Structure 1
Amino acid sequence: MRKHAVVVGGCMMAMILTGLFPQSLIAAPLPFPDMEHSWYGYRESVAYLQKKGSISGYPDGLFHPKDTVNRAEFLKLVFRSRGNPEPVSGECFSDVPEDAWFAPFVCAAKRRGIIKGYDVGSRTLFKPEQPIVFAEAVKMAVLAYGSEIAEGSGEQWYKPYVADLDRQNILASSSYVPWEPISRERAADLIARFVRHNEDRVIPNHSPGCGKAPAKAFTTLTVGGRERSYLLSAPAHFSSETPSSLIVAFHGRTNSNEQVRKYFGLDRAAEDYYIAYPAAIANDAGTSFSWSDPGDPSYELRDIAFFDAIVEELGKSYCIDMDRIFVAGHSLGAWFSNSVACARGGVIRASATVGGSTTMKGCTGPTAAMIINNPKDQSSPHAAAETMRDIRGAANACGGTSKPVDPTSLSCAEYQGCPENPVVWCPHTIDTGRNGSKYPHLWPDDAGKAIVEFFDGL
C-alpha cells in the first residue's frame, strides 16, 4: 500500500488511509423524488438552483431528470438563474408569439445577441420546441454570462465556446458530445456551474476538499442501509490546492479487493492518483461476490450508489479533480465498471476493463474506454466484449476505422473520429499465467501499466 506523510504536532508520521468508524453517509440532497438514482452532482446542482428559485419541477412533483430540454425551456433556465428579463413588446421571431410564456426569455436573448434564429425562406424562426443540443446550450450559456467570444466557422462554429468552458474549468469538453440533446439534469448542472463560478467563485471541477486541510476519509460507509467498505491508496504527493485524479477499481466475482489490489498493479503505476478498491457484497457462503441485486434495472444497479458515495466522500475529504474520475475492473468487476461508466457517462472520464462486458443497451454520455479481452476467453465471451466496444464507440461518436497503438503486447488499436473520448480495443492473446497454467481470462501483467498510461494521456 502506498502511504503519505502527514505532520501531527510537529512530528512526521506515516498514515495508512483507513477509516476507524463506519459513517452513515449524508447523501447529496434529493430535490425531487425521481432523482434518487441521478449522479449526486446533478442532484446538488438541481437543489442549488431550486433554492435560488431558478428551477422548478412539474405539477406531479417530479423533475423528469432524463427528459430532454427544448430551446425555449433552456433559455428560461438561463435567464431565471440571472433574474427575469424585461417584458416583451412585439414579436422577435415568427414562431414566438408575444403572449407565449417563453417570449420574454427568447426576445431578451435575441436583443443581447445570445441567439440569432434560423432563416427559413422569408421568415426567421427560433424553433422553441426543438430539443437543444449541447453545442447550442454551451453557446447560449457562455454568451449569457458575459464572455465575448467570436464564433467559429462552418461545422466547428461551437469550438470557441467549448474552449472557453474548458479554460475556465466550468465544464470539460470531454463530458459531452456537441450534437447530443441535453437532459434536464445536465442542463441544470451546466447552469449551476456557471452561477457558482461567477457568483460564488467556485471552480466547478475542484471537489469540496480543495483549499482545505485534508480530512481523513471514512473508508467504511453506510449505503442503502448496508455497511460497505473500500481500501484506499493515496498519491505519493498531493496538495490541498492542486486536484488529484481518482481511480475506483472493482474486483471480480471470486477475488477480493485485497487480492486485486496486489495483482492489478495500479498502485505501482499510478503514484499520483487516489485509488479506491471497493469491496462487493459476498454471498452467505463467502465464495463469491456481487455488485448488484437480482432484478436490478441496468441503470439502477445496487452498487452504483456505492460508487457515488465513495466519490462524494473522497471529494469532501481530499482535493479531487472531478473531471478525472476513472473506473477499472476485471471479470465481474469489468462488467460493473462498464455499467457504471455507461450509467455515469459524462461524469467518469474513462473506464478500463479486462475480461468483461455489460448488460447496458446504451450509455448516457461519452466516456473514454480501454477494453482488454482475450478472444479465447470463455468466462467473458469475446462477442460480449465486442458489443461493449461498439456501445462505447457509439456513445463517443467514434468512426469505424482504427489504427494500432501501444502497448503492442496487448494488440491494441484506437478507433478514429473521437479524440476527446478515445476507444482503445485490445484483443490480446496472452493466456499463460505466471505459474504456467493456461487461463485466457487472466489479468495480463502489462495491463495495469497500460491502463494508467491510457488515463494519463487523457
Structure 2
Amino acid sequence: MSRRNDHWSLGCITLLCGLLFPFTFAQAASAPPFPDMANSWYGYQESTQYLKDKGSIGGYPDGLFHPQDTVNRAEFLKLVFRSKGAAEPVTEDCFADVPSDAWFAPFVCAAKRRGIIQGYTVGSRQVFKPEQPINFAEAIKMAVLSYGSEIAEGSGEKWYQPYVDELDAKKILASWSYIPWAPITRERAADLIARYVRHDEDRVLPHLSPGCGKSERNPSLTLTVGGQERTYLLTQPSHASTSTPSTLIVAFHGRTNGNAQVRAYFGLDRSASDSFIAYPSGIPNGNGSYSWSDPGDKAQELRDFALFDAIVREIGDSACIDLDRIYVVGHSLGAWFANSVACARGGVVRASATVGGSTTMKNCTGPTAALIINNPKDTLSSHVAAEAMRDIRIAANTCSPKSAKTEPSSLSCMQYADCPLNPVVFCPHTIDRDRHGTYYPHLWPDGTAQAMVKFFEGL
C-alpha cells in the first residue's frame, strides 16, 4: 500500500469553527480556485474556493486539483476532519491496513474511536481499505456522523437511506442529485463538505441562491462570457419575491430560429408563468444560423456551458432561485445543447425537456430527470440519435429498460422503471404536420410546453 501523502493539503480551520453568521458565497473571481476547474460548475468552484480560503483544502504540487478524479476513503476522512479541526495523535494501529505512521492514520483512527467508521472483516483481520474509492453513500455517512448527528443505520441494500434522508431534510444535498453507490469526485466531495460547513457553522441553506433575502434588483441581460458579450431574454414571474424561491428554466433555441422566435412558439411564458425563464442567444455564424459551441470543442467542454453557468449565476444573485429546481429546455440544435448541458451539469440541472435532439456526450456526470420528445420520421435530428440520448440518460439515472405508457398520450410517451427520483420519459410522437398542414416532423408539437411544465412540477 502506498504511503504517499494525499493531495488535499488540508489545513485546520479551528479558529473559524465557532462563527455563526449569515453567509453567502461572494461573486466568484474571474479565475477558478485551480486552473483545471475552469470548466467545472461554478457552484463546485465556489465550494472549493470556500474550503481553500479556510485553509481546509489544497491541490497537487503542480497547482492543479484534478476535480474529476475519484476520492479514496482515507482522503475523504482527512477532508472531513480538517474541515472541523485536527485529529488526535495515533498511539496504536487501529486497523490491520492502517499503520500508525501512515499519513491517514490520525484521521482513520479518530473516526473509528468516534464510531464514524467500523471497517471490514477480512478473514481474521479488521481492515479499513484506505485506498478504495469512496462512494456517495459512504461519504454522506461519514459526513453526517462527523457533524454530530445520531442516526440508526438502515438495513439491507439501502443501509444508507437514513443518512441520505438527513441531508434531504436539512436541505444540505438533495437526494436526486447523486447516485448513492457512484464514486464521488474531488469537486463533489469538496462541495459536500462545504455545504455541510455552511449549514452547520454559517447557518446557510445551500439550495437557496445568494439573491434570497437581498434587496431586489433586475438581472443584467448582457453578460461577458469568455471575453465575448452575450445576451439573453428573461421572463420574470409577476409574484417574484426575494423571500420565496422560484424555479428557473433556461430555454435554448435551434440553429436557425433566434431566442425571440422560440420565446414566442415554445409557449413557456404561458405555461410556466411562476418561473424565471431565460432565453439565451447563440452566437451568429454569419449565414443566418447560430451555434452553442466552437469547432473542435470537446463534448464535455462546449463553449456555452459557461454561458449557462453565467446566466444561472446572474439570475441567482439578483433573484431568489431554488438551485434544486433548475431546468433546461431546447428544440433542434437547442435540444442537442440542452441535453449536453444536463449531461455536463448532472446533479445540478434538475431536469431536461427537449424536442428533436440528442447529445454529443457519451457519459453524464450525474443524474438528471429527462423528457425526450422526437418524431421517428424526423430527418433533421434522427430518431436513432434520440434513442441514443434516451439510453445515455437511462444509464446515468440507473433506470431499468422496462417501460410503461405515461402521459401525455398524445405524444406516445413511455416512462422507464426503477428511477423514481430521476424519471426518464421518452416520447416517439407521430405528429408530423404543423398548424398550416405542412409536413414537418421536426416541429414543436402543440401541448409540448404544458407537458414539459407538468413533468417538471411532478418531480
TM-score category (smaller protein)? over 0.9
Superposed displacement of residue 325, structure 1:
0.6
Match of 1:371 in 2: 372
CA deviations 1:58-77 (Å, max 9, x no partner) are: 11110000000000000000
Which ranges of structure 2 fall in alignment gaps of 5 or more residues? 1-26
Superposed displacement of residue 26, structure 1:
6.1
- Equivalent residue in structure 2 for 1:199, among 198, 201, 205: 201
Give TM-score, length-normalised by structure 1: 0.93
Question: Is the Cα–Cα contact under 8 Å of residues 29 and 47 in structure 1 kept in the other structure?
Answer: no
Q: Does 1:415 align with 2:416?
A: yes
Question: Is the Cα–Cα contact under 8 Å of residues 28 and 44 in structure 1 kept in the other structure?
Answer: no
Match of 1:358 in 2: 359
Distance in structure 2 (CA, Å) of the matches to 1:371 and 1:160: 33
Distance in structure 1 (CA, Å) of the matches to 2:286 and 2:94: 67
Match of 2:388 in 1: 387
Distance in structure 2 (CA, Å) of the matches to 1:28 and 1:71: 32
Question: Is the Cα–Cα contact under 8 Å of residues 28 and 43 in structure 1 kept in the other structure?
Answer: no
Aligned partner letter, 1:323: D
Distance of aligned partners of 1:27 and 1:269 in 2 relative to their CA distance in 1, 3 Å threshold: farther
Match of 1:88 in 2: 90
Distance of aligned partners of 1:52 and 1:26 in 2 relative to their CA distance in 1, 3 Å threshold: closer
CA deviations 1:97-139 (Å, max 9, x no partner) are: 0000000000111111111111111111110000000000011
Q: Find the residue that maps to 2:372 and give its secondary structure.
A: strand
Distance in structure 1 (CA, Å) of the matches to 2:237 and 2:244: 12
Structure 1 stretches (4+) deviating beyond 4 angstroms?
25-29
Q: Find the residue that maps to 2:220 and give its secondary structure.
A: coil
Question: Is the Cα–Cα contact under 8 Å of residues 251 and 330 in structure 1 kept in the other structure?
Answer: yes
Higher relative contact order (CA 8 A, sep 6+): 1
Match of 1:119 in 2: 121
Q: Find the residue that maps to 1:206 and give its secondary structure.
A: coil
Superposed displacement of residue 27, structure 1:
4.8
Match of 1:213 in 2: 215
Distance in structure 2 (CA, Å) of the matches to 1:436 and 1:423: 31
Aligned partner letter, 1:85: A
Aligned partner letter, 2:360: T
Question: Is the Cα–Cα contact under 8 Å of residues 370 and 425 in structure 1 kept in the other structure?
Answer: yes
Q: Does 1:324 align with 2:325?
A: yes
Match of 1:257 in 2: 259
Question: Is the Cα–Cα contact under 8 Å of residues 212 and 320 in structure 2 kept in the other structure?
Answer: yes
Match of 1:396 in 2: 397
Superposed displacement of residue 183, structure 1:
0.3
Distance in structure 1 (CA, Å) of the matches to 2:76 and 2:376: 46
Distance in structure 2 (CA, Å) of the matches to 1:28 and 1:167: 34
Aligned partner letter, 1:233: T
Question: Is the Cα–Cα contact under 8 Å of residues 234 and 279 in structure 2 kept in the other structure?
Answer: yes
Match of 1:184 in 2: 186
- Equivalent residue in structure 2 for 1:243, among 234, 242, 245: 245
Superposed displacement of residue 236, structure 1:
3.0
Q: How does 1:11-410 map to 2 (within 5 A)?
A: 27=29, 29-285=31-287, 287-410=288-411
Distance in structure 1 (CA, Å) of the matches to 2:354 and 2:234: 20
Question: Is the Cα–Cα contact under 8 Å of residues 209 and 317 in structure 1 kept in the other structure?
Answer: yes
Question: Is the Cα–Cα contact under 8 Å of residues 31 and 38 in structure 2 kept in the other structure?
Answer: no
Question: Is the Cα–Cα contact under 8 Å of residues 27 and 309 in structure 1 kept in the other structure?
Answer: no
Match of 1:7 in 2: none
Distance of aligned partners of 1:449 and 1:419 in 2 relative to their CA distance in 1, 3 Å threshold: same
CA deviations 1:236-288 (Å, max 9, x no partner) are: 32221221110000000010100101111111111111100000011123x10
Q: Find the residue that maps to 1:353 and give its secondary structure.
A: strand
Distance of aligned partners of 1:58 and 1:26 in 2 relative to their CA distance in 1, 3 Å threshold: closer
Aligned partner letter, 1:52: K
Q: Find the residue that maps to 1:449 and give its secondary structure.
A: helix
Question: Is the Cα–Cα contact under 8 Å of residues 66 and 185 in structure 1 kept in the other structure?
Answer: yes
Aligned residues: CA RMSD = 0.9
Aligned partner letter, 1:38: S
Superposed displacement of residue 446, structure 1:
1.1
Distance in structure 2 (CA, Å) of the matches to 1:299 and 1:359: 8
Aligned partner letter, 1:45: S
Aligned partner letter, 2:88: E
Question: Is the Cα–Cα contact under 8 Å of residues 96 and 127 in structure 2 kept in the other structure?
Answer: yes
Identical aligned pairs, as a percentage? 71
Distance in structure 2 (CA, Å) of the matches to 1:319 and 1:279: 23
Q: Find the residue that maps to 2:310 and give its secondary structure.
A: helix
Q: Find the residue that maps to 2:352 and give its secondary structure.
A: strand
CA deviations 1:18-45 (Å, max 9, x no partner) are: xxxxxxx965651111111000000100
Question: Is the Cα–Cα contact under 8 Å of residues 29 and 43 in structure 1 kept in the other structure?
Answer: no
Question: Is the Cα–Cα contact under 8 Å of residues 218 and 318 in structure 2 kept in the other structure?
Answer: yes
Matched residue count: 433
Question: Is the Cα–Cα contact under 8 Å of residues 28 and 46 in structure 2 kept in the other structure?
Answer: no
Which ranges of structure 1 fall in alignment gaps of 5 or more residues? 1-24
Q: Find the residue that maps to 1:127 and give its secondary structure.
A: coil
Give TM-score, length-normalised by structure 2: 0.93
